[in-house]
Amino acid sequence: MQFIYPPTFTPSATKITFAQPDFGPSGIPHSEVFGDVYFSDAGGASEKEQVFVKGNGLPKRLMESPLPEFAVGETGFGSGLSLLMLIKNLKEAGFWEPPAPENISSSPKATAPISVHPKELIYLSTELYPMTRADMRKAHQVFPEITAESQELLNAYAETKLHLGLNVLTPWPHTKIYLLVGDVLETLPQLEIRNGGIDAWFLDGFSPQKDLAMWSPECAQQLQRLSRRGATIATYTVSGFVRRNLIAAGFAVQKIPGFGRKKEMLAGVLTELSKKSPTSIGGGGCHTLLTIKD
């Protein structure tokens, strides 16, 4: 799978604006810009697990996929909590367990076993206002069950190394995190995925009433463009605006039981692929592309 992003693309922003969350007495981060919380104050980690991980049939689909890689996409990286709950579930499912004996080299010249891992996890996420490492650590502290996963992510995350556009993190073996920093309606159209596509989407932006761009028809069309046929989506909101935009983009969606105080959530699957050619990158003429192969 190749992620192609133009290094010459000039976004409207000239530098990264980092989030400045207000944690308050509860320790739950709140965005002053969007006037919304990053996650629920009633079992935020469990909500991420049920809505996004279980809502996309994970980790079972990933573990049973016959393909050499499985790609998860997310709109709204935030504190990284959805990613951490996915990683926790993959650990529990044995994704990083030692390979079966038939996949280990028995050559007498080998100084150590050489494993052949069955697949790679690709995780693409977008974020307009990334958190600093200190704020991310603080956000994770209210969930002791992900202490190990949090530290593993933080070891690979440094805001001083982030730049506008596509960033690559490798916190875990056989895993690559692609973090698109910038306006989602500027960054996603510039991205091209070759030899593959997103298999499951975590639609985790702030409330549709607070962050229209993340739930817009234009964003829904980009999700479709970057997906494989049969890609799934899951989100906490059942907003009619969101539902109509996803349907118009080719996703069949339905309401299913939600988490906690939310009676319902949305889940769906991509049934129609665009017949249009991929979005052109960088306009006319010849351009040097940032190409990342997996």
pLDDT of 282 reads: 31
Q: Which residues contact 274 (CB under 8 A, 6 or more apart)?
A: 221, 224, 225, 250
Span 214-230, average pLDDT: 97
Going by C-alpha positions, the residue among 40, 44, 71 that lies closest to residue 58 is 71
Span 257-284, average pLDDT: 70
Q: Which residues contact 84 (CB under 8 A, 6 or more apart)?
A: 45, 140, 146, 149, 150, 153
Residue 161 or residue 96, greater confidence: 161
Percent of the chain with pLDDT over 70: 86
Span 145-163, average pLDDT: 96
- Both structure tokens of 81: 């909590």
146 within 8 A of 139, measured Cβ to Cβ: no
Please give the span between the terminal C-alpha atoms of the chain, in angstroms, as a whole number. Answer: 5
pLDDT of 40 reads: 86
Please determine, for residue 237, whether its predicted confidence score (pLDDT) is greater than 80: yes
Query: In this predicted model, what pLDDT tens digit does every residue of 115-125 receive, in sequence order?
Result: 345 689 999 99
pLDDT of 239 reads: 95
Span 210-229, average pLDDT: 96
The chain-wide mean pLDDT, for the chain, equals 88
Q: What is the set of domains in the chain, with CATH numbers?
A: 2-95+120-293 (3.40.50.150)
Please determine, for residue 289, whether its predicted confidence score (pLDDT) is greater than 70: no
Query: In this predicted model, what pLDDT tens digit does every residue of 224-234 receive, in sequence order?
Result: 999 999 999 99
pLDDT of 24 reads: 87
Query: In this predicted model, what pLDDT tens digit does every residue of 11-52 receive, in sequence order?
Result: 999 999 999 999 988 899 999 999 999 998 888 999 999 999
pLDDT of 35 reads: 92
190 within 8 A of 9, measured Cβ to Cβ: yes
Dihedral (Cα; 278, 282, 287, 293), 10-degree rounding = -50
Name the β-bridge partners of 214. Answer: none
pLDDT of 99 reads: 60
Please determine, for residue 284, whether its predicted confidence score (pLDDT) is greater than 50: no
Q: Which residues contact 128 (CB under 8 A, 6 or more apart)?
A: 17, 181, 182, 183, 184
Please determine, for residue 276, whether its predicted confidence score (pLDDT) is greater than 70: no
Please determine, for residue 101, whether its predicted confidence score (pLDDT) is greater than 70: no
